[in-house]
A and B are shown apart, each in its own frame.
Chain A
Amino acid sequence: MRAEARRIGLLAPAMLTIGVLLVVPLGLMAIISTLARGPSGGIIWGQHSLDAYVQFLFERDLMDRLALNTDYLRIFARSIGLAATTTALTLLIGFPTALWMAFQPPSRRTLLVFIVTVPFWTNLLVRNYAWILLLRDGGVIDWTLLKLGLTSRPIGIMYTPLATAIGLVYSFLPYMILPIYVSLEKIDRRLIEAAYDLGADRRRALFRVILPLAMPGLVGGAILVFVPGLGAFITPELLGGAKSMMVGSLIQQQFGQARNWPFGAALAFVLLALVLLALMAHALRYRRGAKPA
């Protein structure tokens, strides 16, 4: 009973802040998604319709019949794919980095946590501009390769999926590295020594001892990269050439030039539902896996 009271006390600030400052406003948004749109954007209170949700999958053809429209599904799929790729790549290079950090002398570790985040004290736009200067035809990378005699013509990575990946992985790296680092840093080293004593090789120690212990960090990092990655669009558009739309810009557009707040809100709720379902599914699996066999 005391544990229960303690838990409620500890959770109260989080529940209250998020509840009042986000859930209640989102309730307003939910209402907006069922309202009629105003002539100059905004909404008309009191006029209800579910058009916004119908519009996600269907459009009215010339004869005013509903026809399936997969445009929005394709945009959703693209963003999900991009977020998944970004998560995989940040994991791939973030994990070894975190491992290395965790095994540095204690005095250096705090400094490293800082070093990993300092680049992000700079402005997002000029950081992306720096990438453009590096990647574009005749840019810094091209120029260097040319001077070194490694290439004879522009390598042409600007405005390709590769450029998008370079930029996105870059902006999400600390969100992957740090959670993994903190879960690795606490590992009782005697455990690993014991593994070695028992004749485990390096690979075994990594997969049997270190990886399972790092799991909470991996999961936390994956959430911190994947979920915001779904909404990312500034970096992909600047570096990728914006020839295909992302969910983030689609939603932004509804509150901007398209003047369709209800549809923008509906899109956001569809996204929200998808992510929540995925998280729930994961939580169920994780819990089942966590039970002793």
Chain B
Amino acid sequence: MKGAGDLWRFRGARAVAYAVLLYLYIPIIVLVILSFSAGDSSLARWEGFSTRWYGVIVEDGDMMRSVRNSLLVALVAMTVGTAIATMAALATARTRFRGQSAVEALIGLPLIVPDIVAAIAILLFFVMVGIELGVTSLMLAHSVFTIPLAYLPIRARLEGLDPALAEAAADLYANPWASFRRVVLPLIWPGIASGAMLAFIGSLGDVVISYFVSGPGATTLPVYVFSMVRVGVTPAVNAISTLLIAASVTPLVLSYLLGRRFR
């Protein structure tokens, strides 16, 4: 079967992939190194090693609160947005129905509207309806904007899957939920995981909507960082970014390594 494995290797593809991974991580390496800079700006040359910025972020309660807000909002928005997107993708993929273009345009709408316009529009709406501005209002707004981010990968995954499988499963299991969970879900899982990751980083990176739709105490990390421009962005932001990366990568790498050892 060695030969069959080789069929899959497009040599050029591997070279490009390695280059892309390098491309993705070069600035991250620079960013991490600079978090240990003794200088006072994240645009400055290297000015000696220091861990003082890690001390600064521990002391900075407002920044820590913004990190917590960001993670909380991103987690909820990812979950809600991905669930809604999965349902929608199940309805639109592999089929044609009247009004489909309109439905798909509507799902894509959050992607199309410039964020400043969407942000002010939603703020006006929330004020008008009387929804209190805070972390909850942020979760609502972010959930809307993560829908297309999760929808498109899941939809791409579903497209071209054999519809007979789901039907066979429906025959096999008495209720549709069981057939979905046992057959469809495992099949589209990579799509859902990818969509969820895009939704997560989409929410985590948003500035404009987070700024306008938040209330007192609900500032998120990107908003906090953008507001530093008056006196300059400090390596504290590099430090907090480094910690976030570390927190996200460590469990995964560990589980991967452990999984290998005990297999």
Q: Which of A23, A122, A247, A279 contacts B108 (CB 8 A)?
A: A279
Question: What sequence of 0s and 1s flags, for each residue 81-93 of chain B, a beta carbon within 8 Å of any chain A beta carbon?
Answer: 0011101101110
Q: Is the CB of B109 within 8 A of A252?
A: no
Q: Report the separation of the CA atoms of residues A189 and B242 in the bound assembly, to the nearest whole angstrom.
A: 39
Q: Report the separation of the CA atoms of residues A108 and B125 in the bound assembly, to the nearest whole angstrom.
A: 45
16 new A-B contacts, CB < 8 A, other than A181-B190, A275-B112, are: A14-B151, A17-B147, A18-B110, A21-B143, A29-B124, A119-B245, A126-B31, A126-B237, A170-B24, A196-B7, A206-B10, A223-B111, A224-B148, A224-B152, A255-B120, A283-B101
Q: Report the separation of the CA atoms of residues A155 and B141 in the bound assembly, to the nearest whole angstrom.
A: 44
How far in angstroms is the closest Cβ of chain B from A118?
A: 6
Q: Report the separation of the CA atoms of residues A123 and B224 in the bound assembly, to the nearest whole angstrom.
A: 10
How far in angstroms is the closest Cβ of chain B from A57?
A: 19
Q: Is the CB of B147 within 8 A of A131?
A: no
Q: Is the CB of A10 within 8 A of B124?
A: no
Q: Is the CB of A96 within 8 A of B141?
A: no
* Residues of chain B contacted by A264 (CB below 8 angstroms): 116-117
* Residues of chain B contacted by A174 (CB below 8 angstroms): 197-198, 201
How far in angstroms is the closest Cβ of chain B from A66?
A: 26
Question: What sequence of 0s and 1s flags, for each residue 141-154 of chain B, a beta carbon within 8 Å of any chain A beta carbon?
Answer: 10110011101111
Q: Which of A94, A178, A247, A252 contacts B194 (CB 8 A)?
A: A178
A residues neighboring B (CB under 8 Å): 6-7, 10-11, 13-15, 17-19, 21-26, 28-29, 93-94, 96-97, 99-101, 103, 107-111, 113-127, 129-134, 140, 170, 173-175, 177-183, 185-186, 189, 192-193, 196, 202, 206, 213, 216-217, 219-221, 223-224, 227-228, 231, 247-248, 251-252, 255, 261, 264-265, 267-268, 271-272, 275-276, 279-280, 283-284, 287
Q: Which residue of B lies closest to A256 (CB)?
A: B116
Q: Is the CB of B237 within 8 A of A123?
A: yes
Q: Is the CB of B87 within 8 A of A97?
A: no
Q: Which residue of A lies closest to B17 (CB)?
A: A100
Q: Report the separation of the CA atoms of residues A255 and B124 in the bound assembly, to the nearest whole angstrom.
A: 14
* Residues of chain A contacted by B256 (CB below 8 angstroms): 107-108, 111
Q: Is the CB of B84 within 8 A of A22?
A: no
Q: Is the CB of A97 within 8 A of B105?
A: no
Number of B interface residues, CB 8 Å? 107
How far in angstroms is the closest Cβ of chain B from A21?
A: 5
Q: Is the CB of B88 within 8 A of A14?
A: yes
Given A11-B87, A100-B14, A119-B25, CB of A22 within 8 Å of CB of B201: no
Q: Which residue of B lies closest to A19 (CB)?
A: B106
Q: Is the CB of B110 within 8 A of A22?
A: yes
B171 touches A (CB below 8 Å): no
Q: Which of A115, A119, A196 contacts B27 (CB 8 A)?
A: A119
Q: Which of A10, A124, A179 contacts B156 (CB 8 A)?
A: A179
Given A13-B84, A126-B225, CB of A121 within 8 Å of CB of B244: yes
Q: Which of A97, A213, A224 contacts B198 (CB 8 A)?
A: A224
Q: Which of B24, B88, B155, B161 contacts A119 (CB 8 A)?
A: B24
Q: Is the CB of B233 within 8 A of A129?
A: yes
Contacts of B94-139 to chain A: CB distance below 8 A: 95-97, 101, 103-118, 120-122, 124-125, 128
* Residues of chain A contacted by B106 (CB below 8 angstroms): 14-15, 18-19, 23
Best-buried of A103, A134, A186, A261 by chain B (most CB within 10 Å): A186
* Residues of chain B contacted by A93 (CB below 8 angstroms): 16, 19-20, 23
Best-buried of B24, B96, B256 by chain A (most CB within 10 Å): B24
Contacts of B192-217 to chain A: CB distance below 8 A: 193-195, 197-198, 200-201, 204-205, 207
Q: Which residue of B lies closest to A181 (CB)?
A: B194
Q: Report the separation of the CA atoms of residues A1 and B245 in the bound assembly, to the nearest whole angstrom.
A: 49
B9 touches A (CB below 8 Å): yes
